[in-house]
Chains A and B, each alone.
Chain A
């Protein structure tokens, strides 16, 4: 179905594999005083699972709202599935699925009624695209007569996903779908996304959780309305410029303070059980870590090299940008 559409739609973009293209999109709020997005550009290929990763307030929701035609950008152009978000907004609305960060289904309608309603307003039926939502909907089936407002957080998100999918969108936009959902449900949710990908649906997902970034094919790290890096998660990790070490001792908070004050330490951040640190002089550390440890008067010191995570990369990029 998607291929036929490609053939008959004229596209500005020559690459037929690009499904979402964003060019220099900017958006400010409150008459320009608050910058939400400053000149963002990226492209997402057809059938890709693309992650927008960044903290709260990075501009993820604004970007999604522009792409699903709910908001007009101040500058820049964006195309979704061959249609311009400003000129052809009507076409986009019938072929994208949008799941907002805030649960926004009808709380006073039941699970079943919500699904039916959203199928009907897109001119389709639940039966027609049931195969798409089947895996998710079977979990909701026992509660299908329950009001959507009375569902648990995870169930709500699953229902919202079903409702965003029921018209078989070409592109699916999921704004922080796992925020406020428990770990098990989050895992399930990502597995569902992977299955959907195999249906050929392009998926853009935003998340503030760095650990979820590795589950995407490609990610864009955003911070204060700007993209700091776009690559595969492995690519982003491979670009980490320094050797990273994990260090721990009996007194973790004291250690962090000492590390940050240490002249040889370039950066030190707390990461759960360990502190992650980099050094100003890589050579010196490679020769002998014990001499460095000796300069710290801490008990049960333990240090080893580690491969960085996306979060390390994010922090590195952030501090690099900021200073």
Chain B
């Protein structure tokens, strides 16, 4: 174990001397966790709507002002014709058009029903679908509010309605940050593991110091452990900073589950992802190569992990990729343990799968390292 001690001392000295790496390790979690959750938000606000009111009645005015009063919509100048409103969409000033037909109020009183026309600019898919559904819900609401008034005139429309009220568990206010912050923390830890460890080893290859180590009695597993342990420690530190200072301190996300369980899973995940970094380093000759390869996998890891988009909503082939992605499991475990307070029994499968990843990556990397050196 003595050689390992010397390797670790050397490694930590080098890390603490690195003028780029060290600030990255400590500033990255702060910046990413403080800024990203505030900006990356699913709620769409400031949807520009253009209303063509062909009726100019009390009802049509009430509908317009109801929409304008909502925090999601911004009423832009009312147009007199659909053509004019459509030009607004083309010039990107309007996202939605609502056309209220002529005799809107009169038809409601007379027949009890009336249709309005909604046109949505679907260039930005999220904005379009959310804007459309916000608007529909406002109209539905409006519909409910005018029911008592038209009941007198419309003879046969008995008011039979089932009211649904939902309670959101584990994140009662559907706070986006509660959902995102733990997951972003996972991405940070992944970066430390997949980038830093791999690049560090490739740097030794590039500079040639690995040859000096190879022509020495140092054992391969000592050398590999000497590389994994420092980055395991850094991963734990980055996670702790993000978890206690930012997630808990700033956002007030109090973990529901056991911290010990969370840290045990984190350590397991780090071993797996460090093994992945190691694997990349055995296939790369230069830092540039290692960087490009890790970047490619990071993109897949981030986008196919259920971080932003629900895995359940993915097509079948994409689900296969998502479930072959170690990041997916840690994000799930984070959300389960932190938000739901899940215990070991609930995440047994996740633990087994991550054990599999850790073994696969590390064994593969060590075998390949032997072959090339």
Contact = CB atoms under 8 A, between A and B. Distances in A.
Interface of A: 68-70, 90, 93-94, 96, 98, 100, 102-109, 113, 117-118, 120-123, 163
Contacts of A98: 211-212, 215
B229 to A, nearest CB: 16
SS of B interface (majority): helix
Contacts of B2: 120, 123
A163 B216 CA distance: 12
Given A120-B3, A121-B218, A123-B2, A106 B10 contact: yes
B213 interface: yes
A94 B208 contact: no
Interface stretch (B12-20, B109-117, B272-280): B12-20
Nearest to B210: A104
A118 B212 contact: yes
Contacts of B212: 98, 100, 104-105, 118, 163
Size category of the binding interface on chain B:
20 to 34
Contact of B216 (A100, A105, A121): A121
21 contacts: A69-B214, A90-B217, A93-B214, A93-B216, A93-B217, A94-B216, A94-B217, A96-B215, A98-B211, A98-B215, A103-B208, A106-B209, A108-B14, A108-B17, A108-B18, A109-B10, A109-B14, A121-B213, A121-B217, A121-B218, A123-B217
Contacts of B3: 120-121, 123
A105 B209 contact: yes
Interface string B3-28: 10011001001100110000000000
A189 to B, nearest CB: 19
Given A104-B207, A106-B209, A108-B18, A93 B10 contact: no
A106 B211 contact: no
Given A100-B208, A108-B18, A69 B217 contact: no
B13 A68 contact: no
4 tightest A-B contacts by CB?
A104-B208, A120-B6, A94-B217, A98-B215
Contacts of A102: 208
A69 B216 CA distance: 10
A300 to B, nearest CB: 51
A109 B6 contact: no
**Interface hub of A94, A108, A118, A123 (most chain B Cβ within 10 A):** A108
A283 B10 CA distance: 69
A78 to B, nearest CB: 15
Contact of B214 (A70, A109, A118): A70
A147 to B, nearest CB: 8
Given A108-B18, A117-B10, 7 more contacts: A93-B216, A93-B217, A100-B211, A103-B208, A104-B207, A118-B212, A120-B3
Contact of A109 (B7, B13, B218): B13
**Interface hub of B207, B208, B212 (most chain A Cβ within 10 A):** B212
Nearest to B222: A121
**Interface hub of B3, B14, B18, B217 (most chain A Cβ within 10 A):** B217
Contacts of A109: 10, 13-14
Contacts of B13: 109, 113
**Interface hub of B3, B13, B215, B217 (most chain A Cβ within 10 A):** B215
A113 B209 CA distance: 14
Nearest to B15: A108
B362 to A, nearest CB: 23
Nearest to B17: A108
Contacts of A163: 212
Interface string B194-219: 00000000000001110111111110
Contacts of B14: 106, 108-109
Contacts of A94: 216-217
A294 to B, nearest CB: 58
A93 B216 CA distance: 5
Contacts of B214: 69-70, 93
Nearest to B10: A117
Contacts of A121: 3, 6-7, 213, 216-218
